[in-house]
């Protein structure tokens, strides 16, 4: 059946991915071991020049390996999150520059962060990553340019509110709206599946939204998609309001240090 075929293709993709990762990881370990061996050798021989070079070689390898496992953990949705009381509006504001640069000149960016946003308990760097990923998806859906709007707001969901599959409660919502291609209902249905992508081979991994989904669910929240073909898409992250003593000192998050994702 088509479902089995899809499953088989997925397994093949998983095999390729894990094979590739094992290979990368092994290369990094080789660099670490090599650096350490050279260090040992020189120290034993009483030659203390070039030590820092070999040290750097080992350290860089180890750091890259750590980053690689971090990505794997994110994918398996078993990463250890470090949630802190976070002001989503401040987090968004800190990301505007990098998002603007990512979007390029053809896409007009507007940002509206609600006033007196409730704090949420979330791993801030992960939320920054999620936001950037949503913006990259939006950009890719607007090859000829368009508009991207980021908005945050407090949302109260009463039991049985129509149009919401959210459990009743108080949330801070982060919406990313684009005027791009939109998605058919077939695409919407599969958008959170790992490895589902409509992008050309080498451009899309199909992991972005599945990771975001895993992260948001692990944070107690929900992800919502609204999309109309040829009109655009709104991706919304709903994060539960943080209440209690922690909520009184929500810390502004530090801006994201890297621009490579």
Q: What is the contact surface with ligand ADP in residues (CB under 6 A)? A: 137-138, 141, 178, 180-181, 183, 187, 191, 196-199, 204-210, 233
Nearer to ligand ADP, 206 or 221 (CB): 206
Nearer to ligand ADP, 5 or 201 (CB): 201
Nearer to ligand ADP, 88 or 197 (CB): 197
Nearer to ligand ADP, 181 or 253 (CB): 181
Other CB atoms within 10 A of residue 162 CB: 4
CA 83 – CA 122 distance, rounded (Å):
4
CA 33 – CA 114 distance, rounded (Å):
51
Nearer to ligand ADP, 113 or 137 (CB): 137
Contact 98, 226 (CB under 8 A): no
CB of 115 to ligand ADP, least distance (A): 27
CB of 17 to ligand ADP, least distance (A): 13
- What is the strand order of the sheet 169-178 is part of? 107-113, 146-157, 169-178, 232-240, 222-228
CB of 71 to ligand ADP, least distance (A): 14
Task: Give the helix/strand (H/E) hosting 236.
Answer: strand 232-240
CA 210 – CA 134 distance, rounded (Å):
12
CB of 19 to ligand ADP, least distance (A): 19
CB of 226 to ligand ADP, least distance (A): 10
CA 205 – CA 181 distance, rounded (Å):
19
Give the residue from 89, 194, 192, 80 showing the smallest Cα distance to 131. 89
Residue whose Cβ sits closest to ligand ADP: 208
């Amino acid at each position: 059946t088509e479902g089995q075929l899809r499953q088989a293709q997925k397994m093949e993709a998983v095999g390729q991915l894990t094979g590739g990762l094992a290979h990368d990881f092994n290369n990094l370990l080789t660099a670490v071991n090599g650096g350490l061996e050279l260090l040992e050798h020189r120290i034993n021989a009483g030659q203390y020049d070039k030590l820092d070079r070999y040290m750097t070689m080992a350290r860089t390898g180890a750091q890259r390996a750590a980053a690689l496992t971090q990505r794997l953990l994110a994918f398996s949705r078993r990463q250890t999150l470090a949630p802190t009381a976070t002001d989503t509006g401040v987090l968004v504001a800190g990301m505007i520059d990098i998002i603007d640069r990512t979007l390029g000149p053809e896409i007009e960016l507007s940002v509206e962060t609600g006033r007196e946003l409730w704090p949420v308990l979330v791993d801030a760097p992960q939320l920054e990553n999620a936001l950037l990923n949503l913006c990259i998806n939006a950009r890719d859906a607007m090859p000829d340019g368009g508009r991207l709007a980021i908005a945050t707001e407090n949302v109260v969901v009463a039991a049985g509110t129509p149009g919401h599959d959210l459990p009743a409660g108080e949330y801070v919502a982060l919406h990313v709206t684009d005027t791009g291609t939109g998605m058919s209902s077939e695409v919407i249905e599969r958008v959170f599946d790992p490895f589902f992508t409509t992008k050309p081979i080498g451009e899309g991994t199909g992991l972005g939204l599945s990771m975001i989904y895993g992260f948001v669910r692990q944070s107690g929240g929900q992800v919502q998609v609204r999309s109309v073909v040829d009109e655009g898409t709104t991706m919304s992250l709903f994060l539960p309001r943080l209440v209690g003593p922690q909520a009184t000192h929500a810390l502004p998050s530090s801006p994201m240090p890297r621009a490579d994702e």
